[in-house]
Amino acid sequence: MTASDTTIEVIVNNLQIGMYVSELDRPWLETPYAIQGILIKSQQDIDVLKRYCSHVYVDIDRSEPFIAQQHASQISSQDTYVDKRKSGGSVAQKIEPHATSNVSQISNQRHNSEDSRNSEALNTLLHRVKTYTDICSAEQEMPAATKAINVAFSMFSDINLNIERNAKFDIRAANEVVDTLCESIIRNPDAALLLAQLKSTGRELYDNAIKTSVHLLAFGRHLGLPRKDLSILGLGGLLMDIGKQRLPKELQGKRGLLLNPTERKLIKQHVAYGEEIIIQLSDAPEEVVKIAVQHHERENGSGYPHGLHANQIHPYGRMAAIVDCYEELIWGQSGILGLRPFHALKELKENAQAGLSYVLVEQFAQCIGMFPVGSLVELNSGEVAIVLSHNRTQRFLPRIMIICDAQKKPYDTPKTLDLRLAGSNPAGVAYSIVNDLPQGAYGIDAKKYYL
């Protein structure tokens, strides 16, 4: 990995909360971390690192803004911090975090107080206030998750029927459904994540609404947000594209490369339509409106509808933008396979250089893992499997269902394996995942094996 101009070497004992560790003094595979990159959120994070490393490399640009401000003037003078590029590069005299530079550009605008609140909210978001643990297995949670997902689909159908009739829908009913889904995800997120990935009504707007809601709920759980905030995220995810119901039918399922310039301009109107629909609901939380309005905004001001920069965007809007981008990358477009999860996460990180919050992208990657629940993977035996649930401490060894043999022909009877306990494959080698696959690879319809 090539060091950036703002990567510094730090003794583990001198790490601070808010620092982003981009590299270790040893290979990541020699540690229990499944995803490369760690945001230090507590003393416990530092204590764990002490077991494996004596020093690490901190990327100031990816650290929280107050860390960048604190250390920009200290990097060249402190013995504790050593420029990683010892071969001749000089440490930057002043390192301005992206968010901070954006705030300075708009400091004379009337939204300064809101920018400050959003910045503070993001810092709070990244300091886990609650730690959730699985209280049952994904298999045990499956019946309750199935019921919650089915009710959500039914409720969303009612919402859209009311919109078509120009009638208000009952947000209290929507809240109750989201609360039920939220409780399931708190108990164990894998069941709902699996169902959201595999279950389909055949109506893209419905399916995407449920997927987005589930992903945002799981994302919030991973960040340790309070129960109340999880419900806001879940409701925001469910409703953030509700404005698409007012678009012409032929546009509702189109996106990305399939849109011509005229269609692209028209489809952007769904944000204004969604804002109008949600604002009409007297009990709609302000944060839900922000999710709907801001999920296409980007950190560098290139998004729409308002071209907001960095801290002008609410943290939940930033989270929604990441989930929205990820789902579009994974599920692709009509006639075009989506990206494999690894490549989707890589592209998200590349987009984060300007458009998405890098810190939140890293957290989302840790939330869903390299092999997300419901994704297809190839084993070292050549067989193909569906990821059923994660092992929270060994994410490269999930519980899987093997559905195809090495020739990619379906088994008559799929078999379920926990890779931690699976032992050897037919070749006498311990089972492992060697490749992730896009949805629909080899003509496989994953949902028929599990639903």
Single-letter code of the amino acid located at 204: E
344: tokens are 């989707």
Tallying the residues shown for the chain, one arrives at 451
Give me the pLDDT at residue 366, please: 86
| Count of CA atoms in the C-beta half-sphere (13 A) of 358 | 22
> Where residue 73 falls among pLDDT bands split at 50, 70, 90?
very low
* Count of C-beta atoms within a 10 Å radius of residue 78: 12
What span, in angstroms and rounded, lies between the C-alpha atoms of 396 and 371? Answer: 7
In tens, the pLDDT along 396-434 reads 789 999 999 999 999 999 999 999 888 777 777 888 898
Does residue 184 surpass a pLDDT of 90?
A: yes
Query: DSSP letters of 219-275?
Result: HHHHHT--HHHHHHHHHHHHHTTGGGGGS-HHHHT--GGG--HHHHHHHTHHHHHHH
What span, in angstroms and rounded, lies between the C-alpha atoms of 396 and 315? Answer: 29
With H, G, I as helix, E, B as strand and everything else as coil, classify residue 415. Answer: strand
In tens, the pLDDT along 219-255 reads 999 999 999 999 999 999 999 999 998 888 877 776 6
Give me the pLDDT at residue 70, please: 56
Query: Smallest Cα–Cα separation from 285: which of 237, 221, 332, 337?
Result: 237
Give me the percent of the chain exceeding a pLDDT of 90: 34
Q: Which residues contact 336 (CB under 8 A, 6 or more apart)?
A: 257
Place of tokens 């090539």: 2
Which residue segments constitute the domains of the chain, with CATH numbers given? 1-85 (no CATH), 138-368 (1.10.3210.10), 376-450 (no CATH)
